[in-house]
């Protein structure tokens, strides 16, 4: 590779001075950031799996909750850092952009559901967990204690239980109003997971067929959680 491929162009606009990197340098930087994003996504998935296992065992603390939301926030940050680089590269970064899109898929949704499940008070409709983190600087976002404090998830070792919104979000073709009615009825995942088919059927909008589907889904969650305990 010739040295010229890494030359930097200097562009002046009025009194402003802009440095434009070569395509090769930008591609190198984009790939490095993509690798960081891949590592964070693996860590995020591991944190979610750990949270799920602890939920099945009923031993969740705010520490596990913060671990999920913090990693989601850092993934979001790294993806935002990557955007101007891929924008400058244009078509040359199409594959990188596609890979980055795949890596962030579903992360925000999980973070919002986890936040909803564990906040002491239900978040307002349309609010975002990331809004609570806006006052943190970049270094603080990498500090679990700072993130936990901003979210109100303290003390870290306090044992807590979820409402169950994230679990219901995985039930196939379950309308949101029906999911909300179920959450109002049972109030917590602990009560939801012990609900019988007839108890689920009694919730307005559920019906016998959907009640059986929900019960089967909750049973599978328990099985997956128990399996995770045996292989972790």
Give the pLDDT confidence of 40-72 residue by residue, as tens digits: 999 999 999 999 999 988 999 999 999 999 999
Judge contact between 75 and 108, C-beta under 8 A.
no
Report the domain count for the chain.
2
pLDDT of residue 15: 59
Helix axes 94-104, 23-57, angle to 10 degrees: 10
Are 28 and 142 in a shared domain?
yes
Q: Of 118, 151, 184, which residue constitutes the final position of a domain?
A: 151
CATH number of the domain at 92, please.
1.20.1260.110
Give the tens place of pLDDT for each residue, 19-33: 566 778 888 888 899
Q: What angle do CA 105, 106, 108 make, to 5 degrees?
A: 105
Least confident of 82-91, 139-148, 165-174, 203-212: 82-91
Are 66 and 105 in a shared domain?
yes
pTM of the model: 0.84
Which residues make beta-bridge pairs with 17?
12
Average pLDDT over residues 74-95: 88
The per-residue pLDDT of the chain, averaged, comes to 88
Q: What angle do CA 202, 204, 205 make, to 5 degrees?
A: 115
**Residue 87 binned pLDDT confidence (cut-offs 50, 70, 90):** confident
pLDDT of residue 232: 41
Are 144 and 172 in a shared domain?
no
Q: Which residue has the higher pLDDT, 7 or 52?
A: 52
**Residue 4 binned pLDDT confidence (cut-offs 50, 70, 90):** very low
Which tokens hold the place of 225? 């959680």
Q: Which residue has the higher pLDDT, 155 or 228?
A: 155
DSSP tag of 172: T
Q: Residue 28's closest CA among 56, 48, 1?
A: 1
Q: Of 116, 151, 186, which residue constitutes the final position of a domain?
A: 151
Alpha helices in the chain (DSSP H): 23-57, 62-89, 94-104, 107-118, 138-141, 144-151, 165-169, 176-186, 189-193, 197-201, 207-231
Which range of residues forms the domain containing residue 191?
A: 165-231
């Amino acid at each position: 590779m010739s040295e010229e491929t890494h030359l930097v162009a200097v562009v002046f606009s009025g009194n402003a001075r802009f440095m434009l990197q070569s395509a090769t340098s930008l591609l190198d930087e984009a790939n490095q950031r993509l690798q960081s994003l891949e590592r964070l996504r693996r860590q995020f998935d591991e944190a979610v799996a750990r949270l799920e296992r602890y939920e099945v065992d009923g031993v969740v603390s705010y520490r596990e909750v913060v671990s999920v939301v913090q990693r989601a926030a850092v993934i979001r940050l790294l993806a935002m850092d990557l955007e101007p680089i891929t924008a400058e590269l244009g078509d040359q970064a199409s594959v990188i952009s596609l890979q980055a899109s795949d890596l962030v898929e579903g992360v925000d949704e999980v973070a919002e559901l986890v936040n909803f499940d564990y906040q002491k008070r239900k978040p307002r409709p349309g609010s975002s967990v990331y809004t609570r983190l806006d006052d943190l600087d970049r270094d603080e976002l990498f500090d679990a204690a700072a993130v936990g404090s901003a979210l109100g998830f303290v003390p870290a070792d306090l044992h807590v239980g979820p409402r169950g919104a994230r679990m219901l979000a995985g039930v196939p073709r379950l309308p949101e109003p029906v999911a909300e009615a179920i959450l109002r009825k049972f109030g917590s995942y602990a009560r939801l997971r012990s609900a019988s088919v007839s108890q689920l059927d009694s919730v307005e909008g559920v019906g016998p067929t959907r009640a059986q589907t929900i019960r089967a889904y909750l049973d599978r969650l328990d099985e997956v959680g128990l399996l995770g305990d045996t292989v972790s």
